[in-house]
Amino acid sequence: MTHALIVIDVQNDFCPGGALAVPEGDAIIAGINGMMKQADAVILTQDWHPAGHSSFASSHPDQAPYSVIKMAYGPQVLWPDHCIQGSNGAAFHPDLDQSCADLIIRKGYNPAIDSYSAFFENDHITPTGLEGYLRSRDITRLTIVGLALDFCVHFSAVDAARLGFDVTVRQDLCRAIDLDGSLDDALTAMRSAGVSLG
């Protein structure tokens, strides 16, 4: 059974000092680097938004950051501007070992739709191409780590399980935002989808 490590969004804007910092987001990096040599493939994902993205609160003058609005594809949290293409905030954290990466998947670059999952945009239909890459390499087992546990890790893990992959999320190598109970909701959803929580 071929195994891939999926490293979700370990970027400057999600680490302390960043525009959308996840508490202790940088504390997981050494552990993630240590896992890379154990995997048959390492895939890094990168949030990659154009300026003025529709998921930014600044694009909706009547809305505050972290409020939720209805988009054509469903509810959408409005975030502070973050991970803007080509910015230092969008860059991988300098301590993350990129030398082992077989593939980098950029997501969230469509200005009209956000993309939490490494597999699909938030319409749950438009693919990123990751599934095809994994299947072409006969990869069936995934370990998912990174930021943030209750958003991009959660949606990636649930999608992977629904696509038939054997999925483990290493909670010790993730950190969460925990927005209005989002962490408990995410853990419940992952368990219900058949994700193993390590």
Sole residue written with tokens 């040599």? 37
pLDDT per residue as tens digits for the range 111-140: 999 999 999 999 999 999 999 999 999 999
Other residues' Cβ atoms within 10 Å of the Cβ of residue 21: 20
What the block records as the tokens of 159 is: 């999608």
Q: Which of 26, 107, 114, 150 is catalytic?
A: 107
Whether residue 70 lies in the annotated active site: no
SS3 30: helix
Total-model pTM = 0.97
Contact 128, 39 (CB under 8 A): no
Whether residue 152 lies in the annotated active site: yes
Q: What's residue 1's pLDDT?
A: 61
pLDDT per residue as tens digits for the range 148-160: 999 999 999 999 9
Whether residue 107 lies in the annotated active site: yes
Q: Which of 15, 83, 152, 174 is catalytic?
A: 152
